[in-house]
Amino acid sequence: SQQGEEDPQALSIQEGENATMNCSYKTSINNLQWYRQNSGRGLVHLILIRSNEREKHSGRLRVTLDTSKKSSSLLITASRAADTASYFCATLRDNFNKFYFGSGTKLNVKP
């Protein structure tokens, strides 16, 4: 990808379990955002974390950011079948003029 890798590439869990996805990026950033994409559809913004923040919560979502390691993680707690989708991290950099996506994690939550 233009930004970096996400792992795992695919994750299959049971409903109720937690899902953790990791994202690495290559250069300094202004912020990092997580998005969700259902198959063949547009993207839904989940959460934004700025470069000077280390952790952020939104409902069942928890995002961490480690700028020293150039990495971020997304935790979805108490997963539901409806959480089945692809999840992408994306970084804003170069004085706000570039917005690159990671390779994505395909999450399957089994009912």
Partner 1 sequence: GAVVSQHPSWVICKSGTSVKIECRSLDFQATTMFWYRQFPKQSLMLMATSNEGSKATYEQGVEKDKFLINHASLTLSTLTVTSAHPEDSSFYICSARYQQISNQPQHFGDGTRLSIL
Contact residues for partner 1 (CB under 8 A)?
1-2, 30-31, 33, 35, 40-45, 48, 50, 88, 90, 92, 96-104, 106
CA–CA separation, 61 and 42 (whole Å)? 20
> Which residue, 15 or 108, is less far from partner 1 as judged by CB?
108
Dihedral sign for Cα 5, 56, 86, 13, please.
positive
- By beta-carbon proximity to partner 1, the closer residue of 30 and 71 is 30
Q: How far is it, in rounded angstroms, from Cα 26 to Cα 42? A: 25
Query: Of 79 and 91, which has the nearer Cβ to partner 1?
Result: 91
Q: How far apart are CA 91 and CA 100, in angstroms?
A: 5
For the bound state, the minimum distance from the C-beta of residue 45 to partner 1, rounded and expressed in Å, comes to 4
Report the nearest approach of partner 1 to the CB of residue 34 (Å). Answer: 10
Closest CB to partner 1 among 70 and 99?
99
Q: Smallest distance, Å, CB 16 to partner 1? A: 27
What's the DSSP call for residue 83? G
3-state SS class at 81: helix
